[in-house]
Structure 1
């Protein structure tokens, strides 16, 4: 009996030590991550007169500077890709175009159109379409952060010239919204023309 108690105590002691080591390992890992982030921020600020967050605010523009600054700061601190963006839920293609994310906007338009056409023949694709509908707004802020960061990092100039280039690359484009809106309307029109039920209704009018 005494031997069993000793064995049990030893096992409990080992489990406690293992748990403490795991906790210590996690704490060290988090500390290392924080140190690396601080070093990266210091290095970025040293190489440039402004911090990354300040340059991102400049890139976004004054109208939505506060809104996106808060969300970008969360992304930098937590490295999370999940958030929420209401415009990206209702008009994702136009929101991306407005924010000068032309490639992303084009890809989403092509994918959405393809899914819309194929869903009529392959029923289960509507599930994928539904997933994309909510996945885009859930990751929209991160996608915009990544896009803005890439644009900023491509700028090699310094000082006032750098600020001017950031402002020029960032901001918004109303013209792009109209271009993608017209393309979307044309695509929708073609889809309707190819819809036999719709054409039958038109024929009876």
Structure 2
């Protein structure tokens, strides 16, 4: 049989497999292994944060320093775009609202710091939920096709550094526009 014949069983003669790749289509990965594919870089760290490999189920670890320090950029890097937009709006609008109600400087600082602390506490759980939902959608769409599931998780998961650059550009553009509007109306 030809190597391009669909009746050919997968094996070492398959030209579409990466060198050293497992040709056995029947071996389905567990959800924890699929989560590793979704996370991409730093998957081992997130498996520890989420306690994926522990015998007893535990909630995810509570504090995430990158989420605290970078907030929106961390979420964009991890491809949680809707959550990043929501967080950006909260961290932008909350201080503005506090200025409008004539809050003092400590209250404004508290209004800027509180969302970051909340994100740092719940970031690992939020990211686990994001990854689990993505995994469930891909598994439902491509049920019974483990190679297709792997490929789709690798395509839709992981991190995206270019999205961070685009996000930074948008943030600075919005700040520039906002500054221009504020100067126009003052």
Q: CA deviation at 1:128?
A: 3.7
Structure whose residues are more often helix by fraction: 1
Q: Is the Cα–Cα contact under 8 Å of residues 119 and 126 in structure 1 kept in the other structure?
A: no
Q: TM-score, normalised by structure 2?
A: 0.70
Match of 1:184? 171
Determine the structure 2 residue equivalent to 1:146: 129
Question: Contact 2:49 / 2:60 at 8 angstroms: preserved in 1?
Answer: no
Residue 100 of structure 1: SS of its match in structure 2? coil
Kept in 2: contact 1:88–1:95 (CA 8 A): yes
Corresponding residue to 1:91 among 70, 82, 85: 70
The answer for the alignment partner of 1:166 in structure 2 is 153
Q: SS of 2:51's equivalent?
A: helix
* Structural RMSD (CA): 2.4
Q: Which has the larger radius of gyration?
A: 1
Output the CA distance in 1 between the equivalents of 2:116 and 2:178.
Answer: 20
**CA distance in 2: counterparts of 1:115 and 1:151, whole angstroms:** 30
Q: For residues 86-165 of structure 1, what are the structure 2 equivalents within 5 Å? A: 86-122=65-101, 123=103, 124=107, 126-155=109-138, 156=140, 157=142, 158-165=145-152
**SS at structure 2 position matched to 1:154:** helix
1:10-49 counterparts in 2 under 5 A? 49=28
Structure 2 unaligned regions, length at least 5: 1-26
- The number of aligned residues is 148
1:77 paired to 2:20: no
Q: Partners in 1 of 2:126 and 2:110 — Cα distance?
A: 22
